[in-house]
Amino acid sequence: MPRVLDCGRHRFDLSRPLVMGILNVTPDSFSDGGRYVDRARALDHARGMAADGADLIDVGGESTRPGAAPVTEEDELARVVDITATLAGEGLAVSVDTRKPAVMRSAIAAGAAMINDVAALTAPGALAACAQGGVGVCLMHMRGDPASMQQAPTYTDVVGEVRDFLLARAGACLAAGIARERIVLDPGFGFGKTLAHNLQLLRALPELAAAGYPVMAGLSRKSSLGQITGRAAAERLPASLAAALAAVARGAAIVRVHDVRETVDALKVWRAIEHPDVLPDALPDALPGA
């Protein structure tokens, strides 16, 4: 029985890793803040990511970078709902990155396929909002909130604490009527975690994946990669590709990335090596310059 992820009218086969492209429609996200506030530009970028092979487009109207200020419900609605409706109307699978139940409800009504909540549906009303409509849900672990989460986060056992939290939230989803095939877990790299915590979590991804839910990994351009390489956010593509491949090799089913085309190519090569049985036989024998 193939593993699947149900997201409204989209059903994903998880026998290959999925790629979620990031569309931040915020003035202040950490690596692309302000670039896609303009509607036409945002839509073009989303369509480009889909053409490059993104399986889902994650639209976010609230910056969750460390130190970010909260955004009002009204502003968030204005940023995400129309874009979601347009992209979903074109057949794209749109995920909406929000912590607010009112935004979840409007996004689902506009055609969102998934709700990606960095607060794991803990806000009152969030579980009920997502139970309706058959959407997929991504439950992410975060210690604290974006404004303060990087102020000396401590854990006794980061892997165990993150896993226990996520499984408890998955249990809350099941109890609220959200089917197992709709649930994704995410350890929340960089959300109230030091570099050492992030590396421990990445190494332990197989333990989280063993719980039976698809796991999402979001490491693209994150500051941990800057700490390792010494590079600014815009210069972290090679580091992001290495991190995405390391996550998939450890069982991640979905990678959330800025650089879709490059990640899709990297995953194709990884998969051809690791799963020779699924190498497309349509590959030409010789390519120009090969």
Least distance from ligand 9MG to the Cβ atom of residue 290, Å: 36
263 is a contact residue toward ligand 9MG (CB under 6 A) = no
Q: In sequence order, what DSSP letters do the residues of 80-143 get, joined into one string?
A: HHHHHHHHHHTT--EEEE-S-HHHHHHHHHTT-SEEEETTTT-STTHHHHHHGGG-EEEEE--S
Least distance from ligand 9MG to the Cβ atom of residue 189, Å: 5
Stretch that binds ligand 9MG, among 38-46, 183-191, 196-204, 266-274 (CB under 6 A): 183-191
| Tokens found for residue 197 | 């915590």
Counting residues that bind ligand 9MG (by CB under 6 A) gives 13
Stretch that binds ligand 9MG, among 185-193, 194-202, 242-250, 264-272 (CB under 6 A): 185-193
> Which stretch of DSSP H or E encloses residue 167?
helix 158-175
118 is a contact residue toward ligand 9MG (CB under 6 A) = yes
Who contacts 241 (Cβ-Cβ below 8 Å, separation ≥6)?
259, 262, 263, 266
Binding letters toward ligand 9MG, positions 142-181, x by CB under 6 A: ----------------------------------------
Helix (H, G, I), strand (E, B) or coil at 178: coil
186 is a contact residue toward ligand 9MG (CB under 6 A) = yes
241 is a contact residue toward ligand 9MG (CB under 6 A) = no
Least distance from ligand 9MG to the Cβ atom of residue 237, Å: 17
Annotated catalytic residues are: 222, 256
Q: Comparing C-alpha atoms, which of 77, 64, 246, 204 is closest to residue 148?
A: 64
> Which stretch of DSSP H or E encloses residue 174?
helix 158-175
From 106, 116, 223, 224, residue interacting with ligand 9MG (rule: CB under 6 A)? 116
138 is a contact residue toward ligand 9MG (CB under 6 A) = yes
Look at the alpha carbons of 221, 251, 98, 86 in this order and tell me if their dihedral is positive or negative.
Answer: positive
Report yes or no: 260 and 244 within 8 Å, Cβ to Cβ: no
From 26, 31, 49, 64, residue interacting with ligand 9MG (rule: CB under 6 A)? 64
Q: Which C-beta is closer to ligand 9MG: that of 29 or that of 106? A: 29
CA of 288: how far to CAs of 194, 205, 249, 279, in Å? 45, 39, 30, 20
Binding letters toward ligand 9MG, positions 70-99, x by CB under 6 A: ---------------------------x--
From 183, 218, 225, 239, residue interacting with ligand 9MG (rule: CB under 6 A)? 218
**What is the identity of the amino acid at 14?**
L
Who contacts 206 (Cβ-Cβ below 8 Å, separation ≥6)?
250, 251
| DSSP3 helix / strand / coil % (the chain, rounded to 5) | 45, 15, 40
Binding site for ligand 9MG (CB under 6 A): 60, 64, 97, 116, 118, 138, 140, 186, 188-189, 216, 218, 256
